[in-house]
Amino acid sequence: MKQEIKYNADAPTAALIADWLKWLKDERRYSPHTLDAYARDFAAFSAFFPKPLTQQKLEQLDIRNFRAFISARAAKNIEKTSLAREISSVKSFFRWLNLKNLITNPAIKIISLPKKPKILPRALDVEETFNVLNKAQNINKKAWEGLRDAAVLTLLYGCGLRISEALSLNVGDIDNNQILRITGKGNKTRIVPLLPAVIEKIDTYINACPYRLRPGDALFLGARGERLSPRIIQRLLGKIRDELGLPDAITPHALRHSYATHLLAQGTDLRSIQELLGHASLTTTQRYTDVEIETLKKEYHRAHPLEKL
pLDDT digits (tens, 9 = 90+) for 182-191: 887 777 788 8
* pLDDT one-digit tens code per residue, 156-179: 999 999 999 999 999 988 766 688
Q: Are residues 170 and 271 in the same domain?
A: yes
Is residue 119 situated within a structural domain?
A: no
Catalytic residue among 148, 257, 262, 279: 279
CATH number of the domain enclosing 87: 1.10.150.130
Catalytic residue among 185, 190, 227, 287: 185
Catalytic residue among 241, 256, 257, 262: 256
Q: Are residues 169 and 59 in the same domain?
A: no
Please state, for a pLDDT cut of 70, what percent of the chain lies above it.
85
Q: What is the mean pLDDT of the chain?
A: 85
Count Cβ neighbours within 10 Å for each residue of 112-149 and write b for 16 or more, e otherwise: eeeeeeeeebbbbeeeebebbbebbbebbeeebbbbbb
Catalytic residue among 148, 162, 241, 262: 162
Phi-psi region of 172 (alpha: psi -120 to 50; beta: other; left: phi over 0): left
Q: Are residues 99 and 136 in the same domain?
A: no
Specify whether 100 is catalytic.
Answer: no
Q: Are residues 153 and 88 in the same domain?
A: no
Contact indicator for 215, 172 with CB cutoff of 8 Å: yes
The domain of 77 spans: 14-110
Specify whether 162 is catalytic.
Answer: yes
Rounded to the nearest 10 degrees, the angle between the axes of helix 230-244 and helix 126-136 is 120
Which of 110, 140, 169 is the last residue in one of the domains?
110
Specify whether 262 is catalytic.
Answer: no
Specify whether 288 is catalytic.
Answer: yes
Instruction: Give the chain's domain count.
Output: 2
Burial classification of residue 12, based on how many CB atoms lie within 10 Å of its CB (0-12 exposed, 13-18 middle, 19 or more buried): middle
Is residue 283 situated within a structural domain?
A: yes
Spatial CB neighbours of 40, under 8 Å, sequence gap ≥ 6: none
C-alpha–C-alpha distance, residues 53 and 46, integer Å:
7
Catalytic residue among 38, 205, 259, 288: 288
**pLDDT given for residue 184 in this prediction:** 75
Q: Are residues 83 and 171 in the same domain?
A: no
* pLDDT one-digit tens code per residue, 257-272: 888 888 888 888 778 8
